[in-house]
């Protein structure tokens, strides 16, 4: 059991097709996740254009996930916003959904701002929030007043203000109940077996039709298939591209210890 990254879009399409046949949707993202120049932003737009074309041409049950830094957030805020807005607009033309993923704590305000401005024009997008940040209580409450699509994760980066990890799990469960009740499209993105069991019970108890479990490709594949057979909505997150550059770019910011435990399957609570 380990997280997998795929080298090519062609292989990503093949994997997505296989999951779709099992009744499982996918979410495709491109690696790496950091732009060094405006040229990198242009190349990123090109890659996501290829992804959208592949989804349409192959009639895939898949959305896409994007982060802001590959679109130049740290270089030029206006460039990043317009690039992401154009991408969401292009996705809307073919009825493809877009998740705005969350990154470092210092990018949270910009991500929420981008999301609100873009969603006002294009409703085919949702946002991710992280349970290991204290601020997420207020962020979730504000966003869910409009019942927005919301993906809840524990968190991927080293810099966070809720610890130890069992406290993150408790906070996730509390936020998960809110998201399931208030989001028009709640995405429960966790590999924590106890939280998954709780979510299954709540989804059935309150008949939350649009609730969806989301997993990294390679980490809970068999559980994903089991959940799909049991009638739950399931989506597999598939990153493709240059995984080595992704790891090098993120080494100083990723929560390496918890991600290693997660990748190796050493604990069911990650």
With a CB cutoff of 8 Å and minimum separation 6, the contacts of 70 are 30, 32, 33, 34, 35, 40, 41, 44
CATH code, domain with 252: 3.20.20.220
Is there a domain that residue 4 lies in?
A: no
Question: pTM value?
Answer: 0.92
The pLDDT, as a whole number, for residue 51 is 98
Catalytic residue IDs: 101, 151
Of 31, 30, 116, 102, residue with least CA distance to 73: 102
- The predicted-structure confidence for 239-268, as pLDDT tens digits, reads as follows 999 877 766 676 556 655 555 555 444 555
| Count of domains observed in the chain | 1
Which residue range(s) make up the domain with 39? Answer: 9-264
With a CB cutoff of 8 Å and minimum separation 6, the contacts of 57 are none
Percent of the chain's residues with pLDDT above 90 = 81
- Whether residue 242 contacts residue 32, with contact meaning beta carbons closer than 8 Å, is answered with yes
Is there a domain that residue 210 lies in?
A: yes
C-alpha–C-alpha distance, residues 179 and 152, integer Å: 8
- Beta strand 186-188 with 98-100: parallel, antiparallel or unpaired? unpaired
**DSSP H/E element including 173:** helix 165-182
Of 59, 57, 67, residue with least CA distance to 34: 67
Is there a domain that residue 51 lies in?
A: yes
Mean of pLDDT over the chain: 91
Is there a domain that residue 1 lies in?
A: no
DSSP-based three-state secondary structure for 257: helix
Is there a domain that residue 149 lies in?
A: yes
Q: How confident is the model at residue 5 (pLDDT cuts 50, 70, 90)?
A: confident
Is there a domain that residue 135 lies in?
A: yes
Reported residue count of the chain is 270
Is there a domain that residue 131 lies in?
A: yes
Is there a domain that residue 270 lies in?
A: no
**DSSP H/E element including 114:** helix 108-121
Q: How confident is the model at residue 1 (pLDDT cuts 50, 70, 90)?
A: very low
């Amino acid at each position: 059991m380990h997280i997998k990254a795929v080298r090519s879009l062609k292989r990503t399409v093949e994997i997505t097709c296989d999951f779709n046949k099992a009744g499982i949707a996918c979410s495709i993202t491109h690696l790496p996740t950091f732009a060094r120049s405006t040229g990198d932003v242009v190349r990123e737009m090109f890659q996501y254009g290829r992804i959208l074309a592949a989804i349409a041409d192959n009639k895939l049950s898949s959305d896409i996930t994007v982060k802001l830094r590959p679109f130049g957030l740290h270089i030029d805020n206006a460039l990043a916003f317009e690039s992401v807005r154009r991408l969401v607009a292009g996705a809307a033309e073919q009825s493809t959904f877009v998740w705005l993923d969350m990154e470092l704590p210092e990018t949270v305000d910009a991500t929420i701002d981008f999301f609100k401005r873009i969603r006002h024009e294009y409703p085919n997008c949702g946002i991710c929030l992280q349970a290991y940040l204290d601020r997420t209580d207020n962020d979730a409450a504000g966003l869910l007043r409009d019942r927005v699509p919301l993906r809840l994760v524990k968190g991927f980066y080293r810099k966070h203000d809720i610890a130890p990890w069992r406290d993150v799990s408790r906070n996730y469960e509390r936020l998960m109940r809110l998201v399931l009740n208030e989001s028009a499209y709640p995405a429960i993105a966790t590999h924590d077996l106890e939280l998954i069991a709780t979510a299954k019970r709540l989804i059935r108890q309150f008949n939350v039709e649009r609730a969806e479990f989301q997993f990294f490709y390679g980490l809970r594949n068999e559980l994903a298939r089991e959940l799909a057979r049991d009638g739950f909505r399931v989506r597999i997150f598939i990153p493709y591209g240059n995984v080595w550059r992704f790891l090098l770019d993120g080494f100083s910011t990723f929560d390496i210890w918890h991600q290693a435990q997660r990748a190796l399957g050493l604990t069911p609570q990650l």
